[in-house]
Chains A and B, each alone.
Chain A
Amino acid sequence: MTAHESVHDAGPSLDDGDLIVFDNVSKFYGEVLGVNRVTLRLEPGITGLVGPNGSGKSTLMNLMTGLLRPSEGSVQILGVSSDVPHALFDHVGYLTQFDAFPERMTGRSFIDSFLRVHGFGAADARRLTEAALERVNLVDAADRRMGGYSKGMRQRIRLAQAIAHEPGVLVLDEPLNGLDPMARSEVIEIFKGFADEGRHVVISSHVLHEVDMVSDRVVLLTGGYVVAEGEVSGVRSEVEERPIQVLVRCSRARFVAARLFEAEAVVQVELHDDEGGLLASTRKAPRFYDALSRLVLEHDIDVETVTVADSDVRAVYAYLIESEGDVQ
């Protein structure tokens, strides 16, 4: 069977040879956490990795590209283990987030040289270079030095470099950063074209909105953990429905807990053993804080501390949503 004839369902018939599989993967840099206990099975199509800076996106991408090995767990890309990176490299194209170039090189020689480094002979490299240039619509500018390229052209030539060896997995680190709407639209069309061919396109971003526009699914990361994954709408509701926990140290904690329940401001309360405080779970933070304030004022409650105990996911989500204003 030729590659053109193989057809796959997105459902259970997809085997590991079609997937990106992270099995309980952790990566530590000495004592610094990169990612922790990540388990993912990504199907072909566009996947957005989204999270704030330092959330582990780049670590996850480096693990996917074979540039890093996991400290624990295993990574398989289209059935190839990251333990054999040189086999993996044939399947993966990587676009780093850095917008810097050998300025005096032409676009054509830039792509050609990396193909030659990859192990393609002169004739194959020439042919694949031309195909990649056509794909990103840069044939006319291919013999100009890259120092004179616009931001959008630079991004397209970098993309051409990543796709030139016809990889099945394209890993793109912040590929839409700094692009104007026109360039963004062009680049997104290229991503979609790749995904339509049954390839994986993994895009990282710290802006949920831009990933939302192009992705079939998103993986939400924070602090090295995957906190949600699935379709964007699913992730949104999962985060929104997740209760936040608020730690309160106060007098008459049992009384406060009962009144918060009465006010339907909490879904769960745990009293501290010393009854000098409580841990409240709420899905309606404004109502919770209103109710707590009223209790304090009306019943002369002494409050020592009010702290959000697990603000991470909501805070990250809020940050990602707010970041939408930074783009466009």
Chain B
Amino acid sequence: MAVFERTYRRWQGQPTARAGRFLVLFRYSIGEVFRSKWLTAYFALCFVYPLGSLLLIYLRRNAPFLTVFPGFEQAIAVDPGFFGVFVTVQQVFGFLLAVTVGPGLISRDLVNNGLPLYLSRPFTRGEYLLGKFSVLALLLSAVTWVPGLLLMLVHSSLVGWSWLGENASLVAGLFVGSWFWIVGISLMAMAVSAWVRWRFLAGFGMIFFALAGGLFHAMVSGITQSTWGYVFDLPGLLHVVWLRLLGDTVATGLPTVAALIALAGFFAFFFGLLHLKLRAYEVIR
């Protein structure tokens, strides 16, 4: 009779906390992103406008400069409009950053059939997504709310700290609006990455999705003579919500509640796409 002697020893240690395991994916993915010199250079380029804005904020309170250009402080108002332009510019830079980084995040694992390797461990699809999302969240935060809040802090330090309290809604609007935008763009990038395995094509897919939404928006708005076309335009919706949160009420006539509901619809759609694609196995029919 065959005898099986169990001589192997199972690991008896204490596992790490579940909450932090997604950071393993973050660490490796972010390392992968910055291997590319071109991407690193582009990431640096994303800070040109914030640095320019910082310079403007500084100069409008710089006495020697104001003696040469006395009207400068009045010409450059640091108000919701100033930060509205800031977020508009940074959205473009951030979107292109997401177009560059996003497509490879999930498609690489799908091409490599790497999902079973993650999901045959105590690691869920949600944690996997969180790990991938955290990469985009960090990069997009770095070009949106982080420099935006720094500008506000610098401005407040120059004009008096009471400015922050007086403009609390502007500060909150920048932060919350940034996160709406980051989540929306990241979900779109991950969904496209999950469905389009060729990275280059996935990048174009994101641009196409954004442009097609804008085109559809223009068509529907033109036909209905209203602003309801926005509900088909994700970048447009995100922009509207962001500007509203910054206190800009003239951006569009679309009710804020309608914009938020439409955004929730987009988010659900992207989650649905990811749910369909992120499986540890493939059914061959």
Instruction: Mark A residues whose CB is within 8 Å of B.
Output: 2-4, 6-11, 14, 18, 29, 32, 43-45, 54, 58, 62, 65-68, 86, 89-90, 92, 94, 96, 98, 100-102, 104-105, 109, 113-114, 116-121, 124, 128, 161, 165-166, 168, 196-199, 216
Contacts and interface: CB of A to CB of B under 8 A. Distances in A.
A90 B113 CA distance: 21
A197 B4 CA distance: 8
Contacts of B1: 9-11
B64 interface: no
Contacts, number: 132
Contacts of A199: 6, 8
Contact of B5 (A7, A66, A89): A7
Among B111, B119, B280, B281, residue most surrounded by chain A Cβ atoms (within 10 Å): B281
Contacts of B35: 104
B37 interface: no
Contacts of B21: 116-117, 119
Contact of A62 (B7, B13, B280, B285): B280
Contact of B4 (A43, A65, A86, A124): A43
Among B1, B111, B112, B117, residue most surrounded by chain A Cβ atoms (within 10 Å): B117
A119 B18 contact: yes
Contacts of B113: 96, 98, 100
B116 interface: yes
A257 B180 CA distance: 79
Nearest to B131: A117
A64 to B, nearest CB: 10
22 contacts: A32-B285, A45-B2, A45-B4, A62-B280, A67-B119, A68-B281, A89-B122, A96-B116, A102-B112, A104-B35, A105-B28, A117-B123, A118-B15, A118-B121, A119-B21, A119-B121, A120-B16, A121-B13, A166-B8, A168-B10, A197-B5, A199-B8
B11 interface: yes
B120 interface: yes
Contact of B10 (A3, A66, A94, A119): A3
A119 B15 contact: yes
B210 to A, nearest CB: 29
Contacts of B2: 10, 45, 216
Interface residues of B, number: 40
Contacts of B11: 120, 124, 128, 165-166
A104 B123 CA distance: 23
Among B113, B120, B123, residue most surrounded by chain A Cβ atoms (within 10 Å): B120
A119 B285 contact: no
Please give me the 5 A-B residue pairs with the lowest Cβ-Cβ distance, nearest first: A198-B6, A119-B15, A98-B113, A100-B112, A10-B2
Contacts of A58: 281
A62 B119 CA distance: 11
Contacts of B15: 118-120
Give chain B's interface secondary structure class. Answer: loop
A290 B9 CA distance: 61
A18 B6 CA distance: 10
Interface string B224-242: 0000000000000000000
Nearest to A122: B16
B37 to A, nearest CB: 14
A29 B284 CA distance: 9
Given A86-B122, A118-B121, A119-B16, A102 B9 contact: no
B3 A7 contact: yes
Given A89-B121, A92-B120, A98 B283 contact: no
B118 A117 contact: yes
B255 interface: no
B79 interface: no
B237 to A, nearest CB: 35
Nearest to A114: B117
B32 A104 contact: yes
B171 interface: no
Contact of A32 (B18, B32, B283): B283
Contacts of A128: 11
A66 B116 CA distance: 10
Interface string B15-42: 1101001001100100010010000000
B4 A8 contact: yes
A62 to B, nearest CB: 5
Interface in B240-285: 280-281, 283-285
B26 to A, nearest CB: 11
Given A58-B281, A116-B16, 11 more contacts: A3-B6, A3-B9, A9-B3, A65-B116, A67-B119, A89-B121, A94-B117, A96-B116, A104-B32, A114-B118, A117-B123
A198 B10 CA distance: 12
Contact of A124 (B13, B280, B284): B13
Contacts of A124: 11, 13
Among A101, A116, A196, residue most surrounded by chain B Cβ atoms (within 10 Å): A116
A90 B35 CA distance: 33
B114 interface: yes
Nearest to B24: A116
Contacts of A104: 32, 35
A63 to B, nearest CB: 10
Given A32-B285, A66-B120, A166-B8, A102 B114 contact: yes
